[in-house]
Amino acid sequence: MHTCRQRDLEILEQYEKDVTMVVSLGRQGMLTEELLHAALALLEVPAMIRGYGHVKVASLEPAKLRRDAILHRLRTPSSHTTALQTPPHQQQQN
């Protein structure tokens, strides 16, 4: 069973991983306008987790669902954007 402190640390660790991923994408030049909006939305997800005790627990599932949806959008951008599907160093040169 998770204690409140363990859960809070897991939330923080996940946020740090998300920040690292977004920064990495930016440094690689892979953040198109579409992906930038999704990346910023991803970094706003922890703000959905509010309150204490049962109030916080109730906010975890909606935040997780939102995060999953945003990650899906980052991993499968619209057809004209292939930034996350093929890293630049692996793209075929013409």
- Per-residue pLDDT of 8-49, as tens digits, reads 999 999 999 999 999 999 999 989 988 999 999 999 999 999
Q: Which two tokens stand for residue 2?
A: 């998770």
Please state, in angstroms and as integers, the Cα–Cα distance from residue 27 to each residue in 1, 14, 78, 79, following that order. Answer: 39, 20, 21, 22
Rg (CA), the chain: 16
- Give me the mean pLDDT over the 49-56 stretch: 92
The pLDDT value recorded for residue 81 is 47
- Between CA 39 and CA 51 the distance in angstroms is 24
Residue 2: pLDDT band with limits 50, 70, 90: low
% residues pLDDT > 70 (the chain):
79
Residues whose CB falls within 8 Å of the CB of residue 58, separated by 6 or more in sequence, listed in order: 51
Calculate what percentage of the chain has a pLDDT beyond 90.
64
